[in-house]
């Protein structure tokens, strides 16, 4: 076999560098569109450790961790894979966000701004391109190796690439899937023209279509017959106006002698060197349908009616699918979004209803949206927070979208990182914890503080608490911090104020406001800051790029009405606007402009956030509802959880107890 070699393909031991194979459990962050009955059933099955019903899955994470984590459940079970990975520019990671200028002016144009790639996204970009095509080839090779394991024996895979890298990746595909399993090189002509100064205008992208084995299904696809073909070929017309073309029923005989066949009451031999294309029973059927006619030389011809044709078979050059234009209804404002018509063709051609489709570079969620509409099951992942949010909104806008779950690798990814970085020996767990805390305190610019259980550091006269990797900061932690703080005051701890910074990976829903109120009652000033996921990335840490942002604050009113009816009204929302350009900040005159989407779980059960109602901005409807009402089936205590996603894709959650009577 011809082999492509790149720097890094083989390690010093002469063995191929293999992908990360750590399989981590997925955490459910949110379920969407699930009925209350199904939710209860799922909770029940979960409690009895039994598998629940299938849920489509939207996963926030790097394919490097997501793909190996899918292996235990899905190795050999994916029917169709479509991937559209980043293939050239940083544009793959930046996106534009929009704020409506004035909520009271209908149709007002919003201000768009480009959100620069986050550290995680930049890191992924460096992983991919840091060492040019060498690192890109390695990154891709590892992806393909895992995808090969996930693909079913009769599975199909489409790899979508730009012309810049398509030749390199073809060699990798041959190596992983085998040249014999190449079904097509598809050229997708995106544009009609492209202005390139010193070369032919580049108007296409490439899709490599491979299978894992012979049995992979293929459903022929057709496109409407072009007008020009109708005019040139469908020249016959019946008295009732039906257009037809005449088909020649012979094929080359390749040295054999063609047998004679009956056409009505005539027995006819094929012309010399030819044979009849059909069996006698097919000819009899066409004859009975009145579709056989004779030309001037007495040779039979078969009428092919235009209204009976499935269309023109699609070949390997696709010119009939256009790139998404700026006004298209499906446009999500995602720079690399692909048209639904493209995915529709791929999914229809190479899978059947109920099949499982995977795309680990979701972007705006085109694959999942089309799979959903075509009644396939789907799993899609992306490392970009905004991609996940865009996909969620897109799926929600599909009428009757089936329930799906939003997942990440959350605390498992952090635990894996913690043990790799700070040790996992049970005997030395306390030491490992101390090393972990010191690491976070260093990044935060705080000095470690010894002798306390909950107060771990000191920064500019403020005490600092560092949350653990595997649990959210809980109200109990706040009580403990408060208690310990007052014990420490008056000692030589060094605290100059009554302030504590609480650093956490996750926070209990109600913690921000409730914790602050509780602490204020104890005369303590608390600030909650999120430990950013960038902390897990060595390079980001080395570069000192880590920023700890304060949690957004959300205020909402609940009003209870007779008949077990409850209304939620958003009252205020404050975010730290560091990521937003100044002109955009200046254009924001009302707090609700920071909000892109919000959702309510009316009856939170302490498991996963269950999205039962939502309002979000779309191009067509940029206005947001700021209140919602629901009626409970039974009176009593319930917990309402509100989740807000801001225009940058970050979420803030708040829980409020209600007593519906």
Ligand X SMILES: C[S@@+](CC[C@H](N)C(=O)[O-])C[C@H]1O[C@@H](n2cnc3c(N)ncnc32)[C@H](O)[C@@H]1O
3-class SS letters over 562-600: CCCEEEEEEEEEECCCCCCCHHHHHHCCCHHHHEEEEEE
Rounded-to-integer distance, Cα 58 and Cα 360, Å: 10
Rounded-to-integer distance, Cα 494 and Cα 556, Å: 38
CB 598, CB 643: distance < 8 Å: yes
Q: Which of 6, 93, 485, 598 binds ligand X (CB under 6 A)?
A: 93
Rounded-to-integer distance, Cα 356 and Cα 612, Å: 26
Q: Which of 84, 372, 413, 537 binds ligand X (CB under 6 A)?
A: 84
Provide the 8-state DSSP code for 641: E
Please report whether residue 337 would count as binding ligand X according to CB under 6 A.
yes
Q: Of 379 and 628, which CB lies nearer to ligand X in the complex structure?
A: 379
Q: Of 39 and 338, which CB lies nearer to ligand X in the complex structure?
A: 338
Min separation Cβ 366 and ligand X, Å: 3
Min separation Cβ 355 and ligand X, Å: 19
How much of the chain is in helix, strand and coil states, percent to nearest 5? 30, 30, 40
Stretch that binds ligand X, among 379-387, 440-448, 488-496, 540-548 (CB under 6 A): 379-387
Rounded-to-integer distance, Cα 417 and Cα 409, Å: 12
Rounded-to-integer distance, Cα 534 and Cα 550, Å: 15
Min separation Cβ 219 and ligand X, Å: 22
Q: Of 383 and 640, which CB lies nearer to ligand X in the complex structure?
A: 383
Q: Which of 166, 366, 380, 608 binds ligand X (CB under 6 A)?
A: 366
Min separation Cβ 367 and ligand X, Å: 7
Stretch that binds ligand X, among 146-154, 189-197, 377-385, 462-470 (CB under 6 A): 377-385
Q: Which of 100, 249, 384, 622 binds ligand X (CB under 6 A)?
A: 384
Q: Of 327 and 589, which CB lies nearer to ligand X in the complex structure?
A: 327
Q: Which of 31, 138, 166, 336 binds ligand X (CB under 6 A)?
A: 336
Min separation Cβ 606 and ligand X, Å: 30
Rounded-to-integer distance, Cα 56 and Cα 54, Å: 7
Please report whether residue 383 would count as binding ligand X according to CB under 6 A.
yes
Q: Which of 59, 124, 519, 556 binds ligand X (CB under 6 A)?
A: 124
Burial class (CB in 10 A: 0-12, 13-18, 19+), 373: middle
φ and ψ at residue 209, rounded to 5 degrees: -115, 115
Q: Of 129 and 602, which CB lies nearer to ligand X in the complex structure?
A: 129
Helical H runs in 335-401?
Answer: 340-350, 366-373, 385-396
Binding flags for ligand X, 386-415, as an x/- string (CB under 6 A)? -x----------------------------
- Residue 440 vs residues 449, 504, 533, 578: alpha-carbon distances, Å: 13, 10, 12, 21
Min separation Cβ 62 and ligand X, Å: 4
Residue with tokens 């790029």: 545
φ and ψ at residue 136, rounded to 5 degrees: -65, -45
Q: Which of 39, 55, 63, 204 binds ligand X (CB under 6 A)?
A: 63
Please report whether residue 270 would count as binding ligand X according to CB under 6 A.
no
Please report whether residue 86 would count as binding ligand X according to CB under 6 A.
yes
Q: Of 89 and 189, which CB lies nearer to ligand X in the complex structure?
A: 89
Question: Would you state the structure tokens that stand for residue 90, as one six-digit string?
Answer: 């940083």
Residue with tokens 């225009």: 647
Rounded-to-integer distance, Cα 459 and Cα 390, Å: 38
Burial class (CB in 10 A: 0-12, 13-18, 19+), 85: buried
Please, how many CA atoms are within 13 Å of residue 70, restricted to the half-sphere of its CB?
33
Please report whether residue 363 would count as binding ligand X according to CB under 6 A.
yes
Stretch that binds ligand X, among 85-93, 216-224, 452-460, 474-482 (CB under 6 A): 85-93
Helical H runs in 461-575?
Answer: 475-488, 511-521, 538-543
Q: Which of 158, 188, 334, 436 binds ligand X (CB under 6 A)?
A: 334
Tell me how crowded residue 484 is: count the other CB atoms within 10 A of its CB.
18
Question: Would you state the structure tokens that stand for residue 405, as one six-digit string?
Answer: 């779950």
Q: Which of 28, 92, 413, 601 binds ligand X (CB under 6 A)?
A: 92
Min separation Cβ 126 and ligand X, Å: 11
Min separation Cβ 621 and ligand X, Å: 21
Binding flags for ligand X, 504-543, as an x/- string (CB under 6 A)? ----------------------------------------
Q: Of 407 and 499, which CB lies nearer to ligand X in the complex structure?
A: 407
* Straight-line distance from the first to the last Cα atom of the chain, in angstroms, rounded to the nearest whole number: 74
Please report whether residue 142 would count as binding ligand X according to CB under 6 A.
no
Min separation Cβ 124 and ligand X, Å: 4
Q: Which of 364, 408, 512, 653 binds ligand X (CB under 6 A)?
A: 364
Please report whether residue 62 would count as binding ligand X according to CB under 6 A.
yes
Please report whether residue 117 would count as binding ligand X according to CB under 6 A.
no
Looking at the DSSP bridge assignments, the partners of residue 473 are 507
Please report whether residue 592 would count as binding ligand X according to CB under 6 A.
no
Looking at the DSSP bridge assignments, the partners of residue 566 are 560, 630
Q: Of 86 and 467, which CB lies nearer to ligand X in the complex structure?
A: 86
Rounded-to-integer distance, Cα 658 and Cα 636, Å: 8
Min separation Cβ 145 and ligand X, Å: 14
Stretch that binds ligand X, among 359-367, 473-481, 543-551, 579-587 (CB under 6 A): 359-367
Q: Of 409 and 580, which CB lies nearer to ligand X in the complex structure?
A: 409
Min separation Cβ 332 and ligand X, Å: 7
> What torsion do the CA atoms of 421, 134, 181, 176 make, to the nearest 10 degrees?
-30
Which of helix, strand or coil describes residue 359? strand
- How many residues bind ligand X (CB under 6 A)? The answer is 23
Type and span of the H or E element at 457: strand 457-459
Min separation Cβ 339 and ligand X, Å: 8
Residue nearest to ligand X (CB): 363
Task: Provide the phi-psi class of 486: left if phi over 0, else alpha when psi is between -120 and 50, else beta.
Answer: alpha
Binding flags for ligand X, 338-357, as an x/- string (CB under 6 A)? x-------------------
Q: Of 332 and 556, which CB lies nearer to ligand X in the complex structure?
A: 332
The footprint of ligand X (CB under 6 A) covers 62-64, 84-86, 92-93, 124, 334, 336-338, 360-361, 363-364, 366, 381-384, 387
């Amino acid at each position: 076999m011809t082999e492509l070699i790149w720097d890094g393909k083989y390690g010093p031991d002469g063995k191929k560098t293999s992908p990360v194979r750590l399989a981590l459990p997925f955490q459910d962050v949110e379920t969407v569109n699930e009925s209350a009955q199904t939710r209860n059933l799922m909770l029940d099955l979960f409690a009895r450790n039994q598998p629940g019903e299938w849920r489509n899955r939207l996963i926030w994470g790097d394919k490097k961790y997501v793909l190996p984590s899918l292996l235990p459940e899905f190795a050999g079970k994916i029917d169709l894979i479509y991937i559209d990975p980043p293939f050239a520019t940083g544009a793959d990671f930046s996106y534009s966000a929009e704020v409506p200028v004035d909520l009271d002016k209908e149709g007002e144009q919003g201000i768009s701004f480009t959100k620069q790639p986050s550290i995680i996204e930049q890191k992924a970009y460096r992983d991919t391109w840091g060492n040019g095509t060498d690192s890109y080839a390695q990154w891709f090779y590892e992806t393909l190796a895992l995808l090969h394991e996930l693909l079913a024996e009769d599975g199909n895979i489409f790899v979508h690439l730009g012309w810049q890298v398509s030749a390199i990746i073809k060699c990798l595909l041959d190596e992983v899937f085998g040249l014999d399993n190449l079904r097509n090189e598809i050229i997708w002509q995106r544009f009609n023209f492209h202005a390139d100064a010193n070369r032919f205008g580049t108007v296409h992208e490439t899709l490599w279509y491979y299978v894992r084995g012979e049995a992979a299904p293929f459903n022929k696809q057709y496109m409407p017959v072009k007008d020009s073909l109708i005019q040139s070929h469908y020249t016959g017309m019946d008295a009732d106006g039906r257009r037809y073309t005449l088909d020649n029923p012979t094929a080359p005989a390749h040295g054999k002698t063609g047998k004679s066949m009956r056409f009505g009451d005539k027995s006819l031999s094929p012309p010399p060197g030819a044979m009849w294309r059909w069996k006698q029973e097919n000819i009899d059927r066409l004859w009975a349908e009145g579709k056989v006619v004779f030309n001037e030389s007495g040779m039979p011809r078969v009428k092919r009616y235009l209204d009976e044709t499935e269309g023109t078979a699609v070949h390997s050059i696709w010119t009939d699918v256009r790139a998404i234009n700026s006004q298209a209804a499906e446009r999500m404002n995602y720079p690399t979004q692909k048209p639904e018509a493209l995915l529709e063709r791929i999914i229809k051609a190479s899978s059947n209803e109920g099949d499982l489709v995977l795309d680990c570079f979701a972007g705006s969620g085109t694959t999942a949206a089309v799979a959903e509409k075509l009644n396939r099951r789907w799993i899609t992942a992306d490392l970009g927070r905004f991609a996940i949010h865009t996909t969620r909104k897109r799926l929600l806008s599909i009428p009757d979208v089936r329930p799906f779950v939003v997942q990440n690798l959350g605390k498992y990814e952090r635990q894996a990182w913690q043990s790799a970085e700070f040790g996992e020996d049970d005997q030395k767990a306390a030491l490992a914890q101390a090393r972990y805390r010191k690491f976070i305190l260093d990044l935060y610019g705080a000095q470690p503080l010894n002798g306390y259980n909950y107060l771990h550091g000191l920064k500019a006269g403020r005490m600092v608490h560092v949350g653990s990797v595997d649990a959210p900061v809980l109200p109990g932690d706040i009580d403990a911090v408060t208690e310990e703080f007052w014990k420490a005051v008056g000692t030589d701890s060094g605290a100059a104020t009554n302030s504590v910074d609480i650093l956490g990976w996750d926070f209990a829903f109600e913690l921000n406001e409730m914790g602050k109120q509780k602490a204020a009652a104890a005369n303590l000033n608390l600030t909650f800051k999120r430990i950013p996921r960038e902390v897990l990335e060595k390079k980001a840490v080395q570069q000192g790029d880590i920023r700890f942002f304060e949690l957004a604050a959300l205020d909402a009113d609940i009003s209870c009405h007779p008949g077990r009816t409850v209304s939620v009204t958003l009252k205020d929302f404050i975010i730290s606007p560091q990521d937003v350009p100044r002109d955009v900040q200046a254009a924001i005159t009302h707090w609700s402009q920071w909000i892109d989407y919000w959702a309510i779980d009316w009856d939170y059960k302490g498991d996963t956030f269950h999205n039962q109602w939502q309002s979000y901005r779309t191009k067509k409807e940029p206005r947001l509802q700021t209140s919602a009402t629901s009626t409970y089936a039974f009176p009593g205590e319930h917990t309402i959880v509100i989740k807000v996603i801001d225009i940058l894709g970050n979420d803030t959650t708040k829980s409020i107890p209600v007593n519906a009577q």
